[in-house]
Structure 1
Amino acid sequence: MRAFESENVILAQLGDPELLALERILEPLRLPRNFELVHVGLPVSHYYFLENGVASMIATSPEGRKTEIGMLGRDGMSPPALTVEMERFSFHVMMQIGGHGRRVEAGALAGFLIGRPIVRRLLSRFLHTFFIQVANTALSNAVHKIDVRLAKWILMCHDRLEGEQIEITHEDMADMLGVRRSSVTEALHVLEGEHFIYSTRGLLIVRNRASLEAFAADAYNLPGITGHDWPQTSRHLIALAK
Protein backbone atom coordinates (compact mmCIF):
# COMPACT_ATOMS: atom_id res chain seq x y z
CA MET A 1 0.00 0.00 0.00
CA ARG A 2 1.30 3.45 -0.93
CA ALA A 3 2.34 5.84 1.80
CA PHE A 4 -0.10 8.47 0.54
CA GLU A 5 -1.85 9.51 -2.63
CA SER A 6 -0.86 12.79 -4.22
CA GLU A 7 -2.19 14.92 -7.07
CA ASN A 8 1.32 16.22 -7.71
CA VAL A 9 2.71 14.70 -10.90
CA ILE A 10 6.22 14.15 -9.53
CA LEU A 11 5.05 12.55 -6.28
CA ALA A 12 2.48 10.43 -8.13
CA GLN A 13 5.26 8.85 -10.23
CA LEU A 14 7.48 7.85 -7.31
CA GLY A 15 7.79 4.21 -6.33
CA ASP A 16 6.71 3.08 -2.88
CA PRO A 17 10.24 3.01 -1.34
CA GLU A 18 10.95 6.58 -2.43
CA LEU A 19 7.49 7.78 -1.40
CA LEU A 20 7.77 6.20 2.05
CA ALA A 21 11.15 7.82 2.62
CA LEU A 22 9.96 11.20 1.37
CA GLU A 23 6.79 11.10 3.47
CA ARG A 24 8.91 11.42 6.64
CA ILE A 25 10.20 14.85 5.59
CA LEU A 26 7.14 16.25 3.75
CA GLU A 27 4.84 18.71 5.47
CA PRO A 28 1.28 19.12 4.10
CA LEU A 29 0.03 22.69 4.19
CA ARG A 30 -2.46 25.16 2.77
CA LEU A 31 -1.06 27.60 0.25
CA PRO A 32 -3.23 30.74 0.27
CA ARG A 33 -3.20 33.39 -2.41
CA ASN A 34 -0.10 35.64 -2.27
CA PHE A 35 1.82 33.11 -0.14
CA GLU A 36 5.52 33.52 -0.98
CA LEU A 37 7.26 30.30 -1.96
CA VAL A 38 10.52 32.07 -2.80
CA HIS A 39 11.62 35.68 -2.49
CA VAL A 40 14.18 36.86 -5.03
CA GLY A 41 17.69 37.06 -3.62
CA LEU A 42 16.88 35.28 -0.36
CA PRO A 43 17.99 31.75 0.59
CA VAL A 44 15.67 28.93 -0.50
CA SER A 45 14.40 27.42 2.74
CA HIS A 46 11.82 24.96 1.35
CA TYR A 47 10.76 23.27 -1.86
CA TYR A 48 7.05 22.88 -2.58
CA PHE A 49 5.10 20.16 -4.37
CA LEU A 50 1.77 21.76 -5.24
CA GLU A 51 -1.31 19.54 -5.48
CA ASN A 52 -3.74 22.31 -6.34
CA GLY A 53 -3.46 26.02 -7.02
CA VAL A 54 -1.19 28.07 -9.27
CA ALA A 55 2.16 29.67 -8.46
CA SER A 56 3.71 32.39 -10.61
CA MET A 57 7.43 32.84 -11.18
CA ILE A 58 7.89 36.59 -11.56
CA ALA A 59 10.70 38.67 -13.02
CA THR A 60 11.14 42.26 -11.84
CA SER A 61 12.91 45.05 -13.71
CA PRO A 62 15.24 47.54 -11.94
CA GLU A 63 12.37 50.06 -12.20
CA GLY A 64 10.02 47.66 -10.39
CA ARG A 65 7.94 46.49 -13.34
CA LYS A 66 6.85 42.87 -13.00
CA THR A 67 5.66 40.09 -15.27
CA GLU A 68 5.08 36.37 -15.00
CA ILE A 69 7.70 34.32 -16.82
CA GLY A 70 6.57 30.86 -15.72
CA MET A 71 3.65 29.06 -14.12
CA LEU A 72 3.81 26.16 -11.67
CA GLY A 73 1.18 23.88 -10.21
CA ARG A 74 0.62 20.19 -9.64
CA ASP A 75 2.88 19.54 -12.63
CA GLY A 76 6.09 19.98 -10.68
CA MET A 77 8.17 21.48 -7.90
CA SER A 78 8.74 25.06 -6.80
CA PRO A 79 11.14 26.66 -7.13
CA PRO A 80 12.31 24.90 -10.30
CA ALA A 81 16.04 24.50 -9.82
CA LEU A 82 18.97 22.72 -11.44
CA THR A 83 20.21 21.77 -7.97
CA VAL A 84 18.57 21.85 -4.56
CA GLU A 85 21.94 22.74 -3.06
CA MET A 86 21.73 26.32 -4.34
CA GLU A 87 21.42 29.01 -1.67
CA ARG A 88 19.49 31.72 -3.51
CA PHE A 89 16.94 31.94 -6.33
CA SER A 90 16.89 34.64 -9.00
CA PHE A 91 13.11 35.13 -9.22
CA HIS A 92 10.14 35.71 -6.97
CA VAL A 93 7.64 32.83 -6.74
CA MET A 94 4.23 33.36 -5.14
CA MET A 95 0.81 31.72 -5.09
CA GLN A 96 -1.32 33.44 -7.69
CA ILE A 97 -4.32 31.19 -7.03
CA GLY A 98 -4.55 29.57 -3.61
CA GLY A 99 -4.41 25.82 -3.14
CA HIS A 100 -2.57 23.20 -1.12
CA GLY A 101 0.46 20.97 -1.32
CA ARG A 102 3.46 19.64 0.59
CA ARG A 103 6.82 21.18 1.35
CA VAL A 104 10.21 19.89 2.35
CA GLU A 105 13.15 21.68 3.95
CA ALA A 106 15.89 22.34 1.39
CA GLY A 107 18.61 20.49 3.27
CA ALA A 108 16.36 17.48 3.87
CA LEU A 109 15.52 17.25 0.17
CA ALA A 110 19.20 17.43 -0.78
CA GLY A 111 19.90 14.53 1.58
CA PHE A 112 16.95 12.54 0.24
CA LEU A 113 18.19 12.84 -3.35
CA ILE A 114 21.58 11.30 -2.57
CA GLY A 115 21.69 7.86 -4.18
CA ARG A 116 18.29 8.27 -5.86
CA PRO A 117 19.02 8.85 -9.58
CA ILE A 118 15.44 7.95 -10.61
CA VAL A 119 14.02 10.82 -8.57
CA ARG A 120 16.68 13.17 -9.89
CA ARG A 121 15.69 12.20 -13.44
CA LEU A 122 12.05 13.03 -12.69
CA LEU A 123 13.07 16.46 -11.42
CA SER A 124 15.30 16.99 -14.47
CA ARG A 125 12.46 16.09 -16.86
CA PHE A 126 10.16 18.54 -15.12
CA LEU A 127 12.79 21.27 -15.20
CA HIS A 128 13.43 20.70 -18.92
CA THR A 129 9.75 21.07 -19.77
CA PHE A 130 9.30 24.01 -17.43
CA PHE A 131 11.94 25.98 -19.28
CA ILE A 132 10.32 25.04 -22.59
CA GLN A 133 7.24 26.71 -21.10
CA VAL A 134 9.31 29.79 -20.14
CA ALA A 135 10.80 30.02 -23.65
CA ASN A 136 7.39 29.58 -25.26
CA THR A 137 5.97 32.35 -23.05
CA ALA A 138 8.72 34.69 -24.21
CA LEU A 139 7.96 33.82 -27.84
CA SER A 140 4.22 34.24 -27.32
CA ASN A 141 4.72 37.63 -25.70
CA ALA A 142 6.55 38.75 -28.85
CA VAL A 143 4.31 37.34 -31.59
CA HIS A 144 0.75 36.89 -30.28
CA LYS A 145 -2.03 39.37 -29.63
CA ILE A 146 -3.20 39.91 -26.07
CA ASP A 147 -6.45 37.94 -26.52
CA VAL A 148 -4.49 34.87 -27.68
CA ARG A 149 -1.98 35.27 -24.86
CA LEU A 150 -4.81 35.54 -22.35
CA ALA A 151 -6.47 32.41 -23.75
CA LYS A 152 -3.17 30.55 -23.34
CA TRP A 153 -2.79 31.82 -19.76
CA ILE A 154 -6.33 30.77 -18.83
CA LEU A 155 -5.77 27.28 -20.25
CA MET A 156 -2.54 26.88 -18.31
CA CYS A 157 -4.33 27.85 -15.08
CA HIS A 158 -7.19 25.48 -15.91
CA ASP A 159 -4.70 22.62 -16.32
CA ARG A 160 -3.56 23.06 -12.74
CA LEU A 161 -6.93 23.48 -11.01
CA GLU A 162 -9.99 21.38 -10.27
CA GLY A 163 -13.27 22.44 -11.86
CA GLU A 164 -14.02 25.26 -14.26
CA GLN A 165 -13.65 28.26 -11.94
CA ILE A 166 -10.52 30.41 -11.69
CA GLU A 167 -10.44 33.00 -8.91
CA ILE A 168 -8.49 35.87 -10.42
CA THR A 169 -8.95 39.61 -10.85
CA HIS A 170 -8.45 41.70 -13.99
CA GLU A 171 -5.61 43.51 -12.23
CA ASP A 172 -3.79 40.26 -11.45
CA MET A 173 -4.15 39.00 -15.02
CA ALA A 174 -2.81 42.32 -16.30
CA ASP A 175 0.18 42.09 -13.94
CA MET A 176 0.97 38.53 -14.99
CA LEU A 177 0.75 39.35 -18.70
CA GLY A 178 2.64 42.62 -18.30
CA VAL A 179 -0.09 44.76 -19.91
CA ARG A 180 -2.59 47.43 -18.87
CA ARG A 181 -5.79 46.42 -17.09
CA SER A 182 -7.85 47.90 -19.93
CA SER A 183 -6.09 45.56 -22.41
CA VAL A 184 -7.08 42.54 -20.33
CA THR A 185 -10.67 43.78 -20.07
CA GLU A 186 -10.87 44.13 -23.86
CA ALA A 187 -9.37 40.67 -24.38
CA LEU A 188 -11.83 39.15 -21.91
CA HIS A 189 -14.69 40.72 -23.87
CA VAL A 190 -13.39 38.96 -27.01
CA LEU A 191 -13.27 35.57 -25.26
CA GLU A 192 -16.66 36.11 -23.65
CA GLY A 193 -18.16 37.16 -26.98
CA GLU A 194 -17.10 33.78 -28.41
CA HIS A 195 -18.65 32.05 -25.35
CA PHE A 196 -15.29 30.50 -24.39
CA ILE A 197 -15.44 31.92 -20.87
CA TYR A 198 -17.58 33.89 -18.45
CA SER A 199 -15.92 36.61 -16.40
CA THR A 200 -17.19 38.53 -13.41
CA ARG A 201 -15.52 40.41 -10.57
CA GLY A 202 -12.70 38.24 -9.21
CA LEU A 203 -13.92 35.09 -10.97
CA LEU A 204 -13.46 33.53 -14.38
CA ILE A 205 -15.34 30.42 -15.56
CA VAL A 206 -14.19 28.26 -18.48
CA ARG A 207 -17.29 27.46 -20.58
CA ASN A 208 -15.83 25.82 -23.69
CA ARG A 209 -12.34 24.43 -23.20
CA ALA A 210 -12.04 22.85 -26.65
CA SER A 211 -12.87 26.10 -28.45
CA LEU A 212 -10.54 28.05 -26.17
CA GLU A 213 -7.71 25.66 -27.10
CA ALA A 214 -8.48 26.11 -30.79
CA PHE A 215 -8.41 29.89 -30.36
CA ALA A 216 -5.08 29.82 -28.50
CA ALA A 217 -3.66 27.41 -31.13
CA ASP A 218 0.16 27.31 -31.20
CA ALA A 219 0.43 29.73 -28.28
CA TYR A 220 -0.79 26.91 -26.01
CA ASN A 221 0.23 23.74 -27.83
CA LEU A 222 3.95 23.71 -27.19
CA PRO A 223 6.15 22.63 -30.11
CA GLY A 224 8.18 19.50 -29.50
CA ILE A 225 6.05 18.26 -26.59
CA THR A 226 4.37 14.89 -26.97
CA GLY A 227 2.52 12.51 -24.71
CA HIS A 228 5.86 10.81 -23.97
CA ASP A 229 7.30 13.98 -22.43
CA TRP A 230 6.22 15.93 -19.37
CA PRO A 231 2.48 16.69 -19.20
CA GLN A 232 1.35 19.99 -20.66
CA THR A 233 -2.44 19.64 -20.65
CA SER A 234 -4.99 18.73 -18.03
CA ARG A 235 -5.66 15.31 -19.55
CA HIS A 236 -1.96 14.41 -19.17
CA LEU A 237 -1.83 15.87 -15.66
CA ILE A 238 -4.87 13.92 -14.51
CA ALA A 239 -3.68 10.68 -16.10
CA LEU A 240 -0.27 10.86 -14.42
CA ALA A 241 -1.60 11.97 -11.04
CA LYS A 242 -3.92 8.98 -10.64
Structure 2
Amino acid sequence: MQKSRISNRILRSLSDQDFELLAPYLEEVEMPSRYPIARPDTLLEHVYFPDSGIGAVMSVLPDGKKAEAGMFGSEGFVPTSTIIGDKVVPYLIEMQVAGRGYRISVDRMREATKQSATLQVPFIKFMHVFAVQVSYTALANAKFRVEKRLARWILMCHDRVRADVLEITHEYIAFLLGIRRPSVTTALHVLEGHKLIRSNRGTVIIINRKGLERFAAGCYGLPEREFERLLGASAPETDVAPLPSA
Protein backbone atom coordinates (compact mmCIF):
# COMPACT_ATOMS: atom_id res chain seq x y z
CA MET A 1 0.00 0.00 0.00
CA GLN A 2 1.58 3.28 -1.14
CA LYS A 3 0.60 6.51 0.60
CA SER A 4 0.95 8.41 -2.68
CA ARG A 5 -2.05 6.47 -4.08
CA ILE A 6 -4.32 7.57 -1.24
CA SER A 7 -6.50 10.70 -1.25
CA ASN A 8 -7.71 10.46 2.36
CA ARG A 9 -6.18 13.46 4.12
CA ILE A 10 -5.85 11.86 7.54
CA LEU A 11 -3.84 8.95 6.16
CA ARG A 12 -1.75 11.32 4.06
CA SER A 13 -0.99 13.46 7.11
CA LEU A 14 0.70 10.54 8.90
CA SER A 15 4.46 10.28 9.03
CA ASP A 16 5.85 7.49 6.84
CA GLN A 17 6.68 5.48 9.97
CA ASP A 18 3.16 5.78 11.37
CA PHE A 19 1.55 5.06 8.00
CA GLU A 20 3.54 1.82 7.73
CA LEU A 21 1.99 0.63 10.98
CA LEU A 22 -1.42 0.71 9.28
CA ALA A 23 -0.59 0.03 5.62
CA PRO A 24 -0.40 -3.81 5.75
CA TYR A 25 -3.90 -3.99 7.22
CA LEU A 26 -5.72 -1.38 5.13
CA GLU A 27 -8.41 -3.01 2.99
CA GLU A 28 -9.81 -1.25 -0.07
CA VAL A 29 -13.59 -1.10 0.02
CA GLU A 30 -16.41 0.16 -2.19
CA MET A 31 -18.98 2.26 -0.29
CA PRO A 32 -22.22 2.68 -2.26
CA SER A 33 -24.93 5.12 -1.24
CA ARG A 34 -26.53 4.09 2.10
CA TYR A 35 -23.55 1.84 2.86
CA PRO A 36 -23.76 1.21 6.65
CA ILE A 37 -20.54 2.04 8.52
CA ALA A 38 -21.95 1.91 12.05
CA ARG A 39 -25.34 1.29 13.61
CA PRO A 40 -26.49 2.45 17.05
CA ASP A 41 -25.35 0.23 19.93
CA THR A 42 -23.85 -2.37 17.57
CA LEU A 43 -20.29 -3.62 18.09
CA LEU A 44 -17.87 -1.75 15.81
CA GLU A 45 -15.64 -3.87 13.60
CA HIS A 46 -13.79 -1.40 11.35
CA VAL A 47 -12.43 2.13 11.12
CA TYR A 48 -13.08 3.72 7.71
CA PHE A 49 -10.98 6.23 5.75
CA PRO A 50 -12.95 7.42 2.68
CA ASP A 51 -11.03 8.39 -0.44
CA SER A 52 -14.18 9.69 -2.12
CA GLY A 53 -17.89 10.07 -1.54
CA ILE A 54 -19.79 11.71 1.32
CA GLY A 55 -21.00 10.17 4.55
CA ALA A 56 -23.26 11.33 7.36
CA VAL A 57 -23.32 10.86 11.10
CA MET A 58 -27.01 10.85 12.06
CA SER A 59 -28.81 11.14 15.36
CA VAL A 60 -31.65 8.63 15.67
CA LEU A 61 -34.79 8.91 17.79
CA PRO A 62 -36.48 5.85 19.36
CA ASP A 63 -39.28 6.10 16.77
CA GLY A 64 -36.74 5.90 13.93
CA LYS A 65 -36.67 9.57 12.91
CA LYS A 66 -33.18 10.69 11.87
CA ALA A 67 -31.30 13.93 11.23
CA GLU A 68 -27.76 14.64 10.09
CA ALA A 69 -25.43 15.79 12.86
CA GLY A 70 -22.18 15.82 10.86
CA MET A 71 -20.72 15.20 7.42
CA PHE A 72 -17.44 13.53 6.44
CA GLY A 73 -15.54 12.54 3.34
CA SER A 74 -11.94 12.18 2.24
CA GLU A 75 -10.79 14.62 4.93
CA GLY A 76 -11.45 12.28 7.84
CA PHE A 77 -12.21 8.92 9.39
CA VAL A 78 -15.14 7.27 11.18
CA PRO A 79 -16.19 6.21 13.73
CA THR A 80 -14.06 8.76 15.60
CA SER A 81 -14.79 7.20 19.00
CA THR A 82 -12.67 4.16 18.12
CA ILE A 83 -9.53 6.21 18.70
CA ILE A 84 -10.39 6.52 22.40
CA GLY A 85 -11.12 2.81 22.75
CA ASP A 86 -14.91 2.80 22.34
CA LYS A 87 -16.46 -0.09 20.43
CA VAL A 88 -20.08 1.12 20.12
CA VAL A 89 -21.73 4.41 19.10
CA PRO A 90 -25.25 5.74 19.81
CA TYR A 91 -25.75 7.07 16.28
CA LEU A 92 -25.99 5.88 12.68
CA ILE A 93 -23.14 6.37 10.22
CA GLU A 94 -23.73 5.71 6.53
CA MET A 95 -22.71 6.95 3.10
CA GLN A 96 -24.83 9.60 1.37
CA VAL A 97 -22.92 9.78 -1.93
CA ALA A 98 -21.20 6.64 -3.15
CA GLY A 99 -17.44 6.45 -2.85
CA ARG A 100 -14.57 4.19 -2.02
CA GLY A 101 -11.84 4.10 0.55
CA TYR A 102 -10.03 1.97 3.06
CA ARG A 103 -10.85 0.24 6.31
CA ILE A 104 -8.90 -1.41 9.08
CA SER A 105 -10.18 -3.56 11.91
CA VAL A 106 -10.69 -1.79 15.23
CA ASP A 107 -8.33 -4.26 16.91
CA ARG A 108 -5.55 -3.68 14.35
CA MET A 109 -6.00 0.08 14.73
CA ARG A 110 -5.70 -0.21 18.50
CA GLU A 111 -2.53 -2.32 18.24
CA ALA A 112 -0.95 0.25 15.90
CA THR A 113 -1.68 3.14 18.28
CA LYS A 114 0.03 1.24 21.09
CA GLN A 115 3.22 1.10 19.02
CA SER A 116 3.51 4.84 18.33
CA ALA A 117 3.07 7.86 20.56
CA THR A 118 2.45 10.08 17.51
CA LEU A 119 -0.04 7.98 15.55
CA GLN A 120 -3.07 9.11 17.56
CA VAL A 121 -2.32 12.84 17.25
CA PRO A 122 -3.96 13.54 13.85
CA PHE A 123 -6.93 11.35 14.78
CA ILE A 124 -7.53 13.29 17.99
CA LYS A 125 -7.19 16.56 16.07
CA PHE A 126 -9.85 15.37 13.64
CA MET A 127 -12.16 14.50 16.55
CA HIS A 128 -11.84 18.14 17.64
CA VAL A 129 -12.49 19.46 14.12
CA PHE A 130 -15.53 17.20 13.74
CA ALA A 131 -16.89 18.43 17.08
CA VAL A 132 -16.52 22.01 15.82
CA GLN A 133 -18.46 21.08 12.67
CA VAL A 134 -21.26 19.51 14.73
CA SER A 135 -21.45 22.60 16.95
CA TYR A 136 -21.83 24.81 13.86
CA THR A 137 -24.55 22.51 12.53
CA ALA A 138 -26.43 23.14 15.78
CA LEU A 139 -25.82 26.89 15.42
CA ALA A 140 -27.02 26.87 11.81
CA ASN A 141 -30.15 24.92 12.73
CA ALA A 142 -30.98 27.31 15.57
CA LYS A 143 -30.08 30.70 14.12
CA PHE A 144 -30.12 30.58 10.30
CA ARG A 145 -32.92 30.42 7.77
CA VAL A 146 -33.39 27.26 5.72
CA GLU A 147 -31.88 28.73 2.54
CA LYS A 148 -28.65 29.66 4.37
CA ARG A 149 -28.47 26.22 5.99
CA LEU A 150 -28.91 24.71 2.54
CA ALA A 151 -26.14 26.91 1.12
CA ARG A 152 -23.82 25.70 3.89
CA TRP A 153 -24.75 22.07 3.25
CA ILE A 154 -24.14 22.40 -0.50
CA LEU A 155 -20.74 23.98 0.16
CA MET A 156 -19.80 21.15 2.50
CA CYS A 157 -20.80 18.61 -0.16
CA HIS A 158 -18.82 20.55 -2.79
CA ASP A 159 -15.72 20.41 -0.58
CA ARG A 160 -15.89 16.63 -0.45
CA VAL A 161 -17.10 15.70 -3.93
CA ARG A 162 -14.78 18.23 -5.61
CA ALA A 163 -17.17 18.51 -8.56
CA ASP A 164 -19.76 21.12 -9.48
CA VAL A 165 -22.56 18.61 -10.03
CA LEU A 166 -24.12 17.00 -6.94
CA GLU A 167 -26.41 14.08 -7.65
CA ILE A 168 -28.84 14.07 -4.73
CA THR A 169 -32.62 14.26 -4.53
CA HIS A 170 -34.76 16.90 -2.83
CA GLU A 171 -36.20 14.16 -0.63
CA TYR A 172 -32.78 13.14 0.65
CA ILE A 173 -31.72 16.73 1.28
CA ALA A 174 -34.90 17.19 3.33
CA PHE A 175 -34.19 14.01 5.26
CA LEU A 176 -30.61 15.02 6.08
CA LEU A 177 -31.46 18.60 7.04
CA GLY A 178 -34.50 17.53 9.04
CA ILE A 179 -36.91 19.74 7.12
CA ARG A 180 -39.94 19.23 4.88
CA ARG A 181 -39.44 18.61 1.16
CA PRO A 182 -41.40 21.74 0.12
CA SER A 183 -38.99 23.79 2.27
CA VAL A 184 -36.07 22.33 0.30
CA THR A 185 -37.74 23.21 -3.01
CA THR A 186 -38.38 26.77 -1.84
CA ALA A 187 -34.82 27.18 -0.56
CA LEU A 188 -33.36 25.85 -3.82
CA HIS A 189 -35.46 28.39 -5.74
CA VAL A 190 -34.03 31.16 -3.53
CA LEU A 191 -30.47 30.06 -4.33
CA GLU A 192 -31.34 29.81 -8.02
CA GLY A 193 -32.82 33.31 -7.88
CA HIS A 194 -29.45 34.59 -6.67
CA LYS A 195 -27.80 32.70 -9.57
CA LEU A 196 -25.75 30.56 -7.16
CA ILE A 197 -26.95 27.13 -8.31
CA ARG A 198 -29.12 25.36 -10.84
CA SER A 199 -31.41 22.61 -9.62
CA ASN A 200 -32.77 19.79 -11.74
CA ARG A 201 -34.50 16.59 -10.73
CA GLY A 202 -31.99 14.74 -8.56
CA THR A 203 -29.18 17.18 -9.32
CA VAL A 204 -27.80 20.41 -7.85
CA ILE A 205 -25.30 22.29 -10.04
CA ILE A 206 -23.04 24.88 -8.41
CA ILE A 207 -22.46 27.92 -10.61
CA ASN A 208 -21.12 30.50 -8.12
CA ARG A 209 -19.08 29.03 -5.27
CA LYS A 210 -17.92 32.39 -3.88
CA GLY A 211 -21.46 33.69 -3.97
CA LEU A 212 -22.65 30.67 -1.99
CA GLU A 213 -20.01 31.35 0.65
CA ARG A 214 -21.17 34.96 0.97
CA PHE A 215 -24.80 33.88 1.08
CA ALA A 216 -24.13 31.36 3.88
CA ALA A 217 -23.20 34.42 5.98
CA GLY A 218 -20.99 32.92 8.64
CA CYS A 219 -22.56 29.49 9.19
CA TYR A 220 -19.96 28.02 6.80
CA GLY A 221 -16.20 28.41 7.02
CA LEU A 222 -14.92 28.22 10.58
CA PRO A 223 -14.85 24.40 10.89
CA GLU A 224 -13.18 24.24 7.48
CA ARG A 225 -10.50 26.74 8.56
CA GLU A 226 -10.01 24.78 11.77
CA PHE A 227 -9.30 21.64 9.75
CA GLU A 228 -6.71 23.44 7.63
CA ARG A 229 -5.10 24.94 10.72
CA LEU A 230 -4.68 21.59 12.44
CA LEU A 231 -4.55 19.03 9.64
CA GLY A 232 -3.71 20.87 6.45
CA ALA A 233 -2.11 17.92 4.69
CA SER A 234 -2.55 18.22 0.94
CA ALA A 235 -4.56 15.74 -1.12
CA PRO A 236 -4.05 15.00 -4.82
CA GLU A 237 -5.60 17.54 -7.15
CA THR A 238 -8.89 16.36 -8.66
CA ASP A 239 -10.28 17.86 -11.83
CA VAL A 240 -13.52 19.73 -11.26
CA ALA A 241 -16.26 18.41 -13.50
CA PRO A 242 -17.30 20.91 -16.19
CA LEU A 243 -20.74 22.45 -15.98
CA PRO A 244 -23.27 20.85 -18.30
CA SER A 245 -24.60 23.06 -21.05
CA ALA A 246 -27.87 24.84 -20.32
Aligned to 1:152: 152
For 1:110 and 1:240, the matched residues in 2 are separated by 26
3-state SS of 1:212 partner: helix
In structure 1, the partner of 2:239 is: none
1:55 corresponding residue in structure 2 = 55
1:84–1:109 Cα contact (<8 Å) kept: no
Cα distance in 1 between the residues matched to 2:24 and 2:50? 17
Q: Residue 201 of structure 1: CA displacement?
A: 1.3
Give SS of 2:83's match. Answer: coil
Partner of 2:75: 75
Candidates 230, 234, 246, aligned match of 1:240: 234
Match in the other structure for 2:123 = 123
Cα deviation code 1:91-111 (max 9, x no counterpart): 100001111110111111111
- Is 1:40 equivalent to 2:34 in the alignment? no
Larger deviation: 29-38 or 19-28? 19-28
Counterpart of 1:49 in structure 2: which amino acid? F
Cα deviation code 1:119-140 (max 9, x no counterpart)? 2010010000100000110111
**Cα distance in 1 for residues equivalent to 2:123 and 2:140:** 25
Name which of structure 1's ranges 211-220 and 113-122 shifts more when overlaid on structure 2.
113-122
**Aligned partners of 2:88, 2:227: CA distance in 1, in Å?**
33
Q: Does structure 1 retain, via aligned residues, the 8 Å contact 2:133–2:223?
A: no
Pairwise CA distance, 1:226 = 4.8
Map 1:1-242 to 2 at 5 A.
2-81=2-81, 83=83, 85-222=85-222, 225-226=225-226, 229-230=229-230, 240-242=234-236
Q: CA deviation at 1:223?
A: 7.0
Looking at structure 2, the residues matched to 228 and 71 of structure 1 have their Cα atoms a distance apart, in angstroms, of 16
Q: 1:228 to 1:68 in 2, by over 3 A?
A: closer
Distance in 2 separating the partners of 1:223 and 1:158: 15
Q: Is the 8 A contact 1:6 1:12 kept in 2?
A: yes
CA-CA distance at 1:3 after TM superposition: 4.5
Cα 1:140–1:103 change in 2 (3 A) is same
Q: TM-score, normalised by structure 2?
A: 0.90
TM-score relative to the length of structure 1: 0.91
Secondary structure of 2:6's partner?
A: coil
Number of matched pairs: 236
Amino acid at match of 1:182: P
1:173-193 residue CA offsets vs partner (Å, 9 max, x unmatched): 001110000000000001111
SS in 1 for 2:5: coil
Change (3 A) 1:173 1:63: same
Q: Secondary structure at 1:67's aligned position in 2?
A: strand
Question: How far apart are residue 52 of structure 1 and its match?
Answer: 0.8
SS in 2 for 1:229: helix
Same amino acid, percent of matched pairs: 36
- Which string of whole-angstrom CA distances, capped at 9 and with x for unpartnered residues, describes residues 140-196 of structure 1? 100000000000000001111131111111011001110000000000001111111
Residues of 2 paired with 1:84 and 1:109: CA distance?
11
The 2-side partners of 1:217 and 1:9 are apart by 27
Q: Secondary structure at the match of 1:218?
A: coil
Paired AA for residue 229 in structure 2: D
Kept in 2: contact 1:38–1:89 (CA 8 A):
yes
**Which blocks of at least 5 consecutive residues in structure 1 are unaligned?**
none
Q: Contact 2:83/2:120 (CA < 8 Å) preserved in 1?
A: no
